[in-house]
Chain A
Amino acid sequence: MRRALLLLKRRAISSIPVLLIVIVGTFLLLEAAPGDAVDAYLLSIGGGDAALVASLRASYGLDQSTLARLWLYLTALAHFDLGWSVTFGRPIVDLILERLPNTLWLMGSALALSFSLGSILGVVAGARPGSATDRFLSIGSLALYAVPSFWLGLVLSVVFSVQLRWFPIAGIETIASGKHGIDRALDIARHLVLPVSALGFIYLALFLRMMRSGMAEAWRQDYALAARAKGLGRPRIVIRHIARNALLPLVTMLGLQAASMLGGSVVIESVFAIPGFGRLAQEAVAGRDAPLLIGIIVTSAVLVILVNLLVDITYALLDPRVGAAEAAA
């Protein structure tokens, strides 16, 4: 445990400069955009005179120099203040905290689905490398990996929502259903079945293929030969010796895919009209709301860092070799 905590501290400290690069980089990128939130606001109210524009700019601090505003932004950020969204007329932190849970449910469930199903199918494929089952699963998962997730979402909704009417077509829960507790949770779960499948099935292939190749590798190791020489049964060798050793790299993959899946959920949320983080990003783009977009990108970077820290700890707990050098130092 001490080892894991030491590792955690190191990683957390080393990610601070990286996060700073993300913040400054995003700020400067969006600074280069033509037009600001005041322009977008004026467009929506049908224009205004120069005095109004100047006073609006001054009230949002948009009349100051880039460097001054970057400094202001960083000091505010140190107090967990991401600024004010002109599009929504609300603090950005509130908006993000309101939308984030929906995306976390979507992402977490999809990751869990692809990880569990992918590793199980990977065990099936890797139990006998080169067999017909193995080939079928490898090709099938590759085909699935080639499918655009938003298209899979559309097809699933045509089949299961429009034709069969099994699942709701959009949203995160029934609007004004008055449901509470377990009923509400079930309602949300029903809404999430299709989006989670659309996102999770795409990434399944990654875990399947990694598990499979890890197992194929493990079969060639001495301990596999030793287990066979001991006369252990095949299922026992596959589960206890082969699969167990092949599982570790998949944990790393989980962390690597977190960023990619967060990006993927932007499109899926648009397909299923889920009021999540990704839709917020789209709304920020549509409203030319640069502070909101910066806030979203910074939050997602923090999220990815946190997921990777979690993965590192899990890894250190699972594999005693990891972090041993850091603990000894």
Chain B
Amino acid sequence: MSLLRRLLGTPEGAVGTVILCLLVLAALLAPVLFPADPLSIVGPALVPPFTDPSLPLGTDRLGRDVLAGLMHGAGTSLAVGIAAAAMAMIAGSLVGTLAGLAGGLVDEALMRVVDAFQIVPSFLLALAFVSVTGASLPVVITAIALGAWTGPARLARAEVLSIRERDYVAAARVLGMRPLEIAFREVLPNALPPVMALSSVIVAISVLTEAALSFLGLGDPNIVTWGSMIAQGRNVLRSAPFLSILPGIALMLTVLGVYLFSEGLADALARRRSRA
């Protein structure tokens, strides 16, 4: 409880928490307020925002409700961002822990694979992966995770390398614990916290990558996303720029919220540690 209070005590943490709460609220309320498919036509095309009370943010080129799209898009962005980050964190920590514990040839081979993933621009990799497997939500999530797991892997390996030399690991070995038991009960739980600190940055990057993929038309065509809304608004950029500008602002707020939240959290944690 005191951690939450300290988180809300920093300006960054407070603003970030409010933004993220509003987003989650929007995502949860979307199916309640707009139960119809956000991709269905509800009115005349290109209604400007703030003119029709039943369509507060107007309609797009095909007469679809912009507000409904924005709110449903919030869910997509958050879901993809969190799922891709979770996937990258899990895969990265497993590979990193394995490399750090195994050492020798296994370590060498795994780290070369990590290097290989790092020198290929992750967006190009995602592009290639989606084009091979066909655009659907799970594919997009995997494609994004493919480019994001190397950071956690490197960090997890470095942590494991330093932890496995500690006295309590030696003690566990003396006690007769099996190597796997040591890995999962002694090393991994202690190696994870620094790696977890990467998660918010990865969520933010994943949200932006998803938007860029769907902007290029490589997202799931049956799901409304902010990236695809920007892409469709681009066709009428001169006459109705708000169609592209609104989802862009939503994206920026989301990513900013994630960054601010993580900065506030880091601040709060650091202060708790310095007091302890």
Contact = CB atoms under 8 A, between A and B. Distances in A.
B270 to A, nearest CB: 14
Interface string A1-39: 000000000000001011101100110011011000000
Given A282-B127, A285-B127, A300-B121, A267 B241 contact: no
A204 B254 CA distance: 19
A155 B124 contact: no
B128 A297 contact: yes
Interface stretch (A48-56, A120-128, A143-151, A185-193): A143-151
A232 interface: no
**Chain B interface bracket (under 10, 10 to 19, 20 to 34, 35 or more):** 35 or more
Interface residues of A, number: 46
B131 interface: yes
Contacts of A157: 237
B24 interface: no
Contacts of B115: 15, 18, 21
A281 interface: yes
A293 interface: yes
A154 B124 contact: no
A281 B124 contact: yes
A237 to B, nearest CB: 27
Contact of B259 (A145, A154, A267): A145
A25 B208 CA distance: 25
A263 B121 contact: yes
Interface stretch (B39-47, B49-57, B62-70, B244-252): B244-252
A154 B128 contact: no
Nearest to A270: B216
Contacts of A21: 112-113, 115-116
B119 to A, nearest CB: 4
B129 A29 contact: yes
Nearest to A293: B128
A16 B269 CA distance: 42
A162 interface: yes
A180 B131 CA distance: 39
Contact of A154 (B129, B218, B237): B237
Interface in A259-311: 259-260, 262-264, 266-267, 270, 281-282, 285, 288, 293, 296-297, 300-301, 304-305, 308
B37 to A, nearest CB: 25
A93 B195 CA distance: 41
Contacts of A150: 211-212, 215, 230
B236 to A, nearest CB: 11
A296 B124 contact: yes
Given A143-B256, A297-B124, A17 B244 contact: no
B238 A30 contact: no
A43 B244 CA distance: 33
Contacts of A17: 112
A297 B252 contact: no
A155 B248 contact: yes
A317 B60 CA distance: 56
B208 A148 contact: yes
Interface in B230-276: 230, 234, 237-238, 241, 244-245, 248, 251-256, 259-260, 263
A304 B124 CA distance: 13
A260 B123 CA distance: 8
B256 A260 contact: no
Contacts of A158: 237-238, 241
Given A142-B260, A143-B256, A150-B215, A25 B116 contact: yes
Interface in A169-225: none
A297 B127 CA distance: 10
A154 B120 contact: no
A151 B248 contact: yes
B125 interface: yes
A267 B133 CA distance: 20
A18 B230 contact: no
Nearest to A31: B132
A282 B112 CA distance: 28
Nearest to A143: B256
11 contacts: A19-B119, A21-B112, A26-B128, A143-B256, A259-B120, A259-B121, A262-B121, A263-B121, A270-B216, A285-B127, A301-B120
